[in-house]
Amino acid sequence: MKLSSACLIIAEDSPESYSPAGERLRHMALSNRSFFSRTIVLTVGKTKKQSAKGVGPTVLLYTTGFVRATPYPISALFDPIRFLAFFIHGLVLSARYKPSCIVASMPPIETGVSGLFLTRLLHKKLTVDYMDDWESSMSSQLTKYIPKILMKLTFKFATKIYSAAITIFVATPTLANTIRQHRIKASVILLPNGADSLIFFPRDKKSRTEIRLKCALPLGRTVVAYCGSGINPYYRLDLILSAAKSLNSNARKKIFFVFYLYNGIEYCRKLKDALKISDDLLEIREPIPRSNLSEVMAACDIGLVPFDDKPFLVYAMSTKVYEYLSAGLYVIGSGPKGGELDSFFSQNTNCGAFVRPKLKEFVRVFIKALEDMEGLLEDNSRNSRHSFVNENYDSRKIMTKAMAHLSS
């Protein structure tokens, strides 16, 4: 196959980060290798140009040279300094590598604004990767700090960005509906996050035992894992900690919680100490590399996606859902009623359970899982969940199709 010219991707999170957005970007860059001679990724950060680890020499990672710019809360809505950094760096990189297309990963809006200006100035094609309903999130969180008129103007300009794109990738069906409500004429393609089923896969009972011994996870107990942010306000880890504390003595003997956090570690440890939860029941650990995390996940039994029930989370469908399932875990998720998570688990009951983010609901579902553990966590069930992800939500397959569309 003759490869097209370069592709420039502008995003906030690095493909080497632990975040879901970074993981999505990593798979996009991986898939690009089959269709573009070179992929240039521009993100926020302090490091200089380098080859992105685990992605290959045809993917070059550049950063804007700083992390913080305009103070909060203005920066949460629109940071003009960050926009200028994206635009100027993007201009320099475009002159050097001459990309045929530019992808702006949104949010934040600064990536979209810089992508819009670059494509108009250089007469290139713009693609927007629309990852979440950031407009609803901002409306919910910033009304105390920023006048509504400023937010409306910002959102109106965001619509101009979507209208200028030839293609919009959306992470969930709810986001596709949001774009259609704006009456955007661009081609809208559903591009769910998914999981890499070659990295996240189940292990047999003997292997799970060996991994637990190596990673200091208890044998003979149901291990419940949470992997992600420890400080994001819409992840209700406070309810998980309280639910663990509220379990009866018999349940506490059968269950063990482990958190692998890429931020907010000290905050969660202080909360754990305040609740007087022992290490024998729950441990909070540092982040580990993706390949190691997939091994640890496979040795666990249950994965957690504890979203709050805020209206703007109706769209939310975490990458971790697919990674847990691909590793063979049963997933317990929470969020707003009628949202993406609710719909997913209603249609795929063998994959996990959905509850409202309430203390009693979490306690109930943990006890229920312990009672049904034998059927939920045996090898056939684990392998079935992996096959489900491999067939429907494998990130490599999903991104390869999307990048084939982009390159054509």
Which overall architecture, per CATH, does domain 7-194+394-407 show? 3-Layer(aba) Sandwich (3.40)
pLDDT digits (tens, 9 = 90+) for 336-362: 998 889 999 999 989 999 999 999 999
| Mean pLDDT value across residues 117-145 | 84
| Mean pLDDT value across residues 321-342 | 94
What's the confidence (pLDDT) of residue 68? 62
Q: Which helix (H) or strand (E) holds 156?
A: helix 148-164
Percentage, residues of the chain above pLDDT 70: 94
* Tokens encoding 337: 């009623």
What's the confidence (pLDDT) of residue 67? 61
Percentage, residues of the chain above pLDDT 90: 51
Of 185, 213, 172, 217, nearest to 314 (Cα)? 172
What's the confidence (pLDDT) of residue 211? 96
Contacting residues for 211 by C-beta, under 8 A, at least 6 apart: 203, 217, 295, 296, 298, 299
Contacting residues for 164 by C-beta, under 8 A, at least 6 apart: 116, 119, 120, 126
Q: How confident is the model at residue 233 (pLDDT cuts 50, 70, 90)?
A: confident
Distance, C-alpha 76 to centroid of its chain: 19
What's the confidence (pLDDT) of residue 238? 95
Q: How far is CA 145 from CA 72, 140, 348, in A?
A: 9, 11, 40
| Mean pLDDT value across residues 57-67 | 79
pLDDT digits (tens, 9 = 90+) for 32-52: 877 888 889 999 876 544 544
Contacting residues for 194 by C-beta, under 8 A, at least 6 apart: 27, 319, 322, 389, 393, 394, 395, 397, 398
Using the predicted structure, report yes or no on whether residue 57 has a pLDDT greater than 50: yes
Residue 74 near residue 146, CB atoms below 8 Å = yes
Half-sphere exposure of 334 (CA within 13 A, CB side): 25
* Tokens encoding 111: 């990536």
Q: Taking all residues of the chain, what is their mean pLDDT, rounded to a whole number?
A: 87
Determine the 3-state secondary structure of 318 from DSSP.
coil
Q: Which of the two residues, 136 and 250, has the higher pLDDT score? A: 250
Residue 190 near residue 173, CB atoms below 8 Å = yes
Contacting residues for 124 by C-beta, under 8 A, at least 6 apart: 94, 99, 100, 101, 102, 118
Residue 218 near residue 315, CB atoms below 8 Å = no
What's the confidence (pLDDT) of residue 372? 81
* Rounded Cα–Cα distance for residues 72 and 77 (Å): 9
pLDDT digits (tens, 9 = 90+) for 193-225: 888 899 899 999 999 999 999 999 999 899 999
Using the predicted structure, report yes or no on whether residue 65 has a pLDDT greater than 80: no
Burial of 206 (C-beta count, 10 Å sphere; 0-12/13-18/19+) = exposed
Of 5, 56, 14, nearest to 31 (Cα)? 56
* Range of 9-18, 77-86, 171-180, 247-256 with top mean pLDDT: 247-256
Please tell me the pTM assigned to this model. Answer: 0.82
Determine the 3-state secondary structure of 174 from DSSP.
helix
Contacting residues for 128 by C-beta, under 8 A, at least 6 apart: 103, 104, 105, 106, 112, 115, 161, 162, 165, 167, 168, 169, 186
Using the predicted structure, report yes or no on whether residue 1 has a pLDDT greater than 50: no
pLDDT digits (tens, 9 = 90+) for 136-167: 777 777 777 777 788 888 888 888 999 999 99
Overall size of the chain counted in residues: 408
Using the predicted structure, report yes or no on whether residue 379 has a pLDDT greater than 70: yes
What's the confidence (pLDDT) of residue 52? 46
Using the predicted structure, report yes or no on whether residue 284 has a pLDDT greater than 90: yes
* 205-392 matches 7-194+394-407 in CATH topology: yes
Using the predicted structure, report yes or no on whether residue 4 has a pLDDT greater than 70: no
Choose the weakest-confidence range: 7-21, 46-60, 302-316: 46-60
Domain spans of the chain, in order of start: 7-194+394-407, 205-392
| Mean pLDDT value across residues 319-330 | 94
> What topology is assigned to 205-392 in CATH?
Rossmann fold (3.40.50)
Residue 207 near residue 193, CB atoms below 8 Å = no
Half-sphere exposure of 132 (CA within 13 A, CB side): 19
Q: How confident is the model at residue 231 (pLDDT cuts 50, 70, 90)?
A: confident
Of 65, 96, 99, nearest to 82 (Cα)? 65
